[in-house]
Structure 1
Amino acid sequence: MPGRVTSPRSAAPRRCAGRRDGTVVVAEHPSARRVTVAVPTFHRNAELRRLLTPLLPQLAETAAGGEWDAEVLVIDNDPAGGGRVVADELSPSADGRLRYVLEGTPGLAAVRNRALDEADGRLLVFLDDDEEPAPDWLATMLAMWAHHGSAAVFGRVVSVFEVERDAWLVAGRAFIRPAHRTGDRLPAVATNNLLLDLDVVRRLGLRFDTRLAFSGGEDSLFTTQLTRGGGTILWCDEAVVYEHVPQDRLNRRWILTRAYRNGTVEETVARLAGSGPAHAIRVRLQYLLGGVVRVVGGSGRVLLGRVTGKLTHVARGERAVARGAGMIAGAAGFVYQEYAKRTAARRAA
């Protein structure tokens, strides 16, 4: 069970920490003057526009407080630079706080490493291009970091659906993420709502592993290495972003494919997080056995659901089987390259 950091200011509403009036305190970190919000993007102009439109006013409001120089960095992985049109469209109202760069090397790891290279201040915040920040999101993230001085802060991601979900998705709690309390310590996280203290990242010499460029999991490995290096990742429940889930993901096939992919990636990340042949063998055996247990247990739950007529057991059992199969495949050396297929299809379009 993750540890939890308590805050004497936790009673303040709609803030993870900070002054009673809601302003951000940075006196403990006099070198912290610049925050970069990095948004990797690829062929998602409408989504990028939807994210930047509410984000830019938050940057201006944060900078107006006098303690921060805030910017957003759009990193386009489209060789044709398709996202530039959105940046050009919004730049006149951005007051110089919107930067656009083109990263020609395909893959998530290269894009995230470009963000590490481009950010020249103390803090770097990652968002995905299919997300939308809640009001006061950035101020809340900064307040949490300023109060605790942790290596990272991870905020809550809430899924928003374009169409009504079918009964299988609802019963299986698809897209419902684990809940935590503000101040909980996490061993590893994704980068879809993540603030990083770059002083810690640079001291540890961390980079996103390019071997995971097309499978995903580069964020899990990065943050695992961060915490194993002594850094702390704190959950901030009040720092909310909304993930807009498109209709083509709201189906059983996509969910089961993602569960299988997660199983392969989970094993790969665990193996890469250590070193030496003994570690690799131990991880492979662990995930081989764990995968078998998931497949057997999930199959039993599916059978139970069909006998009792409870769709919850069927849906969650099928997801367990898919993830277990992925763990077994990962232990055998296979990694599902989800983003390679997506990237190739879009580049050919």
Structure 2
Amino acid sequence: MTDISVIIPTFKRPEGLDRAARSILRQANPCGLKLELIIVDNDPAATALDAVRGLADGAPFPVRYVHAAEPGVANARNAGVTAASGDFIAFLDDDEEAPAAWLCELVGEQRFHEADVVFGPVRARLPEAITDHRAYYIQFFSRIGPEDSGVIDHYYGCGNSLIRRAALPQRDAPFSAERNDIGGEDDLLFAEMERAGARFAWCAEAFVYEDPMLSRTRLGYTLRRAFAYGQGPSAACAAARHLPGILFWMAVGAAQFAVYGTAAAALWLVRAPRRARMLDKAVRGLGKLFWGGPFKLKFYGSAA
């Protein structure tokens, strides 16, 4: 039996995948945990196969290749979970890199608090050549949580997380295929686990680095993502058929757009440094208002 299965879903990112996978192969393991690395190739052409074979040669623990031929972020994650044999599942994205103590820190926090899910920080790294809106991009691609580790009353995203498999609502396909194109499949899962009484924890020491693609360090991309993030609460209430919740979040979105939109317009006129961040907040408000139907945005199934 495997103690921890580390899953890296990937789609046409050879350099990022190599960096992420090698960081897992370099993990410190003083307690002798039985590990496995599962790389899920979500490209129908199976372009990651040769790279995974190369990584498996001489690896300190099993490296397994899974081909999830049907594109979709939920499909990829579900394929990895189905293939995993571990009591715990750790997720790392293919644009992230984990320091050597990453798994040890997550496991220690999980054991101390008997947590069902442990989340850690994400620290964005940008090339020095990116100067416009640099602080905004770093904040956008980072995950900033509490300064101290401990039990938390909310959840974060799937990248950089450790999940107790027995706590999953479905053993082999816990992520909703309805979110294949737009993302947020992890939010739906963790919201369901929260309703079932799952315990979440934060490990401030279990950080990973994220290296966003250059094509994503532009406002055209980040504001579209901000709009989609804003849709999350309203869409979650719609999925639960909770009309009061939908109306509440739409009202919140309208207020956010009015306040932050006005502030963004003023800051943009004077070229203030925080103008992009304020516009981001306004766009998230719009997402809460326009959350369904033709306003759903597709982000997955593309390497850009």
TM, length-normalised to structure 1: 0.79
Residue in 2 that maps onto 1:212: 179
Letter in 1 for 2:175: F
Q: Per-residue deviation at 1:197?
A: 0.5
Aligned residue for 1:245, secondary structure, equals coil
- Supply the distance in 2 between the matched residues of 1:100 and 1:190 (Cα, whole angstroms): 24
Matched, 1:301 2:272: no
- 1:121 partnered with 2:89: no
Please tell me the root mean square deviation across aligned C-alpha atoms, in Å.
Answer: 2.4
Q: For residues 330 and 198 of structure 1, what CA distance do their matches in structure 2 show?
A: 31
Q: Which moved more, 1:150-159 or 1:184-193?
A: 184-193
Find the counterpart in structure 2 of residue 65 from structure 1. 31
Gaps of 5+ in 1: 1-31
Contact 1:291 1:324 in 2 (8 A): yes
Q: Tell me the residue number matched to 1:324.
A: 285
Amino acid at match of 1:99: R
2:53 maps to 1:88 = yes
What are the Cα deviations for residues 74-102 of structure 1, in whole angstroms up to 9, with x where unaligned?
Answer: 01111111111111111112145211111
Pair member with larger Rg: 1
* Aligned partner of 2:211 among 241, 244, 253: 244
Q: Which amino acid aligns with 1:57?
A: R
Q: How far 1:296 sits from its partner (Å)?
A: 0.7
Structure 2 spans left out of the alignment, 5+ residues: none
Of the candidates 231, 245, 252, which is equivalent to residue 283 of structure 1?
245
Tell me the SS of whatever aligns to 1:263: helix
- Residue number among 8, 32, 47 corresponding to 2:16 in the alignment: 47
Q: What amino acid does structure 1 have at the position aligned with 2:94?
A: D
C-alpha distance in 2 between matches for 1:168 and 1:95: 41
When structure 1 is superposed on structure 2, of 263-272 and 38-47 the one drifting more is: 263-272
For residues 293 and 22 of structure 2, what CA distance do their matches in structure 1 show?
45
- Note closer, same or farther for the CA distance 1:303–1:85 as it changes in structure 2 (3 Å cut): same
The corresponding residue for 1:10 is none
Deviates more, 1:331-340 or 1:251-260: 331-340
- Find the partner of 2:300 among 339, 344, 347: 339
**Structure 2 vs 1, CA of residues 171 and 33 (structure 1 numbering), >3 Å: closer, same or farther?**
closer
> What is the Cα deviation at residue 153 of structure 1?
0.6
Assess if the C-alpha contact under 8 Å between 2:20 and 2:92 holds in 1. Answer: no
What secondary structure is seen at the aligned counterpart in 2 of 1:124? strand
Q: Is the 8 A contact 2:122 2:160 kept in 1?
A: yes
CA displacement 1:290-323 (0-9 Å, x = unmatched): 22111111122124425665331x2222112211
Please tell me the residue identity of whatever aligns with 1:35: I
CA distance in 2, matches of 1:254, 1:34: 38
Deviation at 1:126, TM superposition (A): 0.6
72-81 or 322-331, larger mean C-alpha shift = 322-331
| Structure 2 counterpart of 1:334, one-letter code | F
TM-score (norm 2): 0.90
Distance 1:224 1:205 in 2: 18
Q: Corresponding residue for 2:126?
A: 161
Matched letter for residue 229 of structure 2? N
CA contact (8 A) 2:8 2:39 kept: yes
Contact 2:46 2:69 in 1 (8 A): no
Match of 1:310 among 272, 297, 301: 272
Q: Determine the C-alpha separation between the residues in 2 that align with 1:317 and 1:305.
A: 8
SS of the aligned residue for 1:93 comes to coil
Counterpart contact for 1:262–1:326, Cα < 8 Å: yes
1:162 and 1:338 map into 2 onto residues whose CA distance is 23
The answer to whether the 8 A contact 1:288-1:331 is kept is: no
Alignment partners' CA distance in 2, 1:54 and 1:204: 27
Distance in 1 (alpha carbons) for counterparts of 2:55 and 2:171: 36
Whole-Å separation in 2 of the counterparts to 1:144 and 1:258: 31
**Percent of aligned positions that are identical:** 25
Task: Tell me if structure 2 keeps the 8 A contact 1:78–1:104.
Answer: yes
